[in-house]
Amino acid sequence: SAVISQKPSRDICQRGTSLTIQCQVDSQVTMMFWYRQQPGQSLTLIATANQGSEATYESGFVIDKFPISRPNLTFSTLTVSNMSPEDSSIYLCSVTLGLGEQYFGPGTRLTVT
Amino acid sequence: GENVEQHPSTLSVQEGDSAVIKCTYSDSASNYFPWYKQELGKRPQLIIDIRSNVGEKKDQRIAVTLNKTAKHFSLHITETQPEDSAVYFCAASIRGGATNKLIFGTGTLLAVQP
């Protein structure tokens, strides 16, 4: 597996502000993904972070709300824009290795007040 | 759209008993089925996976079976221990462009009573 880190681990933000979450991997990976996990719920894919091109968003998620960067094969950021309390959630990045196994970062717990 | 159904949502067993969690997927093109264990406050951990060319896979006390015809796959945990208590998620791959993305089941909260 790979060592995956996320920053920040948690944050409390005010309504209307934006937060950028960083995901760093200790080796080059082809695929990186961003997920949201609302309290007590399953994991929902937000988007695929594509290196060198625009992210691919899932239904219900848009670039204006969740802009994503992927400047290289070891790093990606997810921004949660113009936050509302409904955005309170855990945000996780994941990477695929080897034959496609997906491994998750530790997550960022976001609370919007 | 594609979806994965998971049952039961909660499961309580006595230590030493077996636990079985079942999932059903809708996309006949799915070819990869991982299982994740998530302890409270922790990240999901990949514990076992199976690909569509295999019917069963074992790793010590855990095993996964796959029935492609019925689009079912199951997680079996034998000789359960209190440290097996966690939320378990199944997932199935769906092809999105050049990428096999994962769609997750709703999760099963497993409680192993000592």
Q: What is the pLDDT along chain B (114 residues), one digit of tens a residue?
A: 789 999 999 999 999 999 999 999 998 889 999 999 999 999 999 999 999 888 999 999 999 999 999 999 999 999 999 999 999 999 999 876 556 789 999 999 999 999
Q: Cis check for the bond before B8: say yes or no (omega within 30 of 0).
A: yes
What average pLDDT does this structure show over A3-16? 97
What average pLDDT does this structure show over A93-98? 91
Asked if the C-beta of B106 comes within 8 angstroms of chain A's C-beta atoms, the answer is yes
> Which candidate, B41, B33, B37, places its Cα nearest to that of B73?
B33
Give yes or no for residue A48 having a pLDDT over 70. yes
Set of chain B residues whose Cβ sits within 8 Å of the Cβ of A104: 36, 43-45
Q: Which residue from A minimizes the CA distance to B106?
A: A42
User: Lowest mean pLDDT: which of A35-44, A47-56, A77-86, A89-98?
Assistant: A47-56
Ordered DSSP codes for A69-103: EEEETTEEEEEE-S--GGG-EEEEEEEEETTTEEE
Residue A45 distance to chain B (closest CA, Å): 8
Q: Do A43 and B44 touch (CB under 8 A)?
A: yes
Give residue A53's pLDDT: 83
Q: With bands split at pLDDT 50, 70 and 90, how would you rate the model's confidence at A61?
A: very high
Is residue A79 within 8 A of residue A87, CB to CB? The reply is: no
Asked if the C-beta of B50 comes within 8 angstroms of chain A's C-beta atoms, the answer is no
Interface test with B, best of A4, A33, A35, A42 (most B CBs within 10 A): A42
B31 φ/ψ sector (left φ>0, alpha ψ -120 to 50, else beta): alpha
Which of B89, B97, B101 lies closest to A42 in CB terms?
B89
Give residue B96's pLDDT: 60
